[in-house]
Amino acid sequence: MPRLAVFDCDGTLVDSQANICRAMEKAFAIANRPAPPRAAIRRIVGLSLVEALQALLPQDDDATHRRMAADYKQAFFDLRTSGDMAEEPLFDGIAAVIDRLETDGWLLGVATGKSDRGLAHILAHHGLTHRFVTLQTADRHPSKPDPSMLLAAMAEAGAAAHETAMIGDTSFDMAMAKAAGTRAVGVAWGYHDRDDLARAGADVVAEEVHALPGMLA
């Protein structure tokens, strides 16, 4: 039975907070709303867009959330196509971790609140597309912490829950892992702190990138 390591993207593989915040601020400006503090925006990274806007604007209706989600997508696309997008680097050491896990026999996947287009772009930019056997996004699944993405990843890879680890930086990732019956591995370099991860069910939390392979062994 294969072992499967499924990574979140934003805040786990790549540091994308600057662009997420800028696109969200633009969506709020289009709606003539004051933008929330960036700390509040970082807290919703990992949710699908409509759910993220529900969390930021709980008093508004579904139509408003969906309209602002579309504005966010356009703002993010405009940043990319204008050349004004900030670099979205891999966190230091992530490429070496991917190499090590593959050498150790792990299959790799991604489960993210990004769109198919957004994930394809970031993986291609870093030359990682071919490293993952399953890619699950918000385009085809309910938002985290619903386990749909993780269940689909396991089905595609042919992996059982007890041989699967979900690796992420948010409480949404940890809760999704618990809902799917997999191991929940938190990382401390992303957008939720250690206490949030622990409360959501993290089995372990990696403080440093290089520690991940040992925690999965």
Q: Catalytic site residues?
A: 8, 10
Longest pairwise C-alpha distance within the chain:
53
Rg, the chain, Cα only: 17
State which amino acid sits at residue 111. Answer: A
